[in-house]
Structure 1
Amino acid sequence: MKKLLTIMLSVAFILSACAADVDPESLENDQADQGTSEASAESEEQPAEAEKTEDPESVENESESKEQEEESAVTTEPEDEEDNTDSGEEAASEDPAVEAEEPEEDTVEASANEGVSEEETKEEQTSNVGLKAYMPKKPMTKTFMQNDEYEAVYEIVDIQGNYVQQVITFGDMVTLQVLQWTEGTVSVVYEEFNPEDTASMLDGFKPVETVDVLIDVTQSSQSESSFKLIDDKQTTSTPVRDFENVLVVQKIEKADSSGAEVRSTFHYAPDYGLIKEKIEDKGENGYTMNSKLIDIK
Structure 2
Amino acid sequence: MNHLSSPAVTVILPILNEEADLGNCISAILQQDYAGELEIILALGPSKDKTNQIASELAARDKRIKLVDNPTGQTAKGLNLAIKASSFEIICRIDGHSEISNSYLKTAISIMQETGAVNVGGLMHADSQSGLQRTIAQAMRSKLGVGASKFHTGGKAGPSDTVYLGTFKKSAILAAGGFDERYIRAQDWELNHRMRAQGGLIWFDPRLVVTYRPRKSLSKLAKQYFQYGRWRRVISRQHPKTTNFRYLAPPIALVINSLSVVLGVFVAPIFLVPVLIYVALLIIGGVIIGRKIADKLLMSIVFATMHLSWGAGFITSPKKLFKN
- Please classify the TM superposition score into its range, dividing by the shorter chain length: under 0.3
Greater Rg over alpha carbons, structure: 1
Q: Counting helix residues as a fraction of each chain, which structure ranks higher?
A: 2
Q: TM-score, normalised by structure 1?
A: 0.21
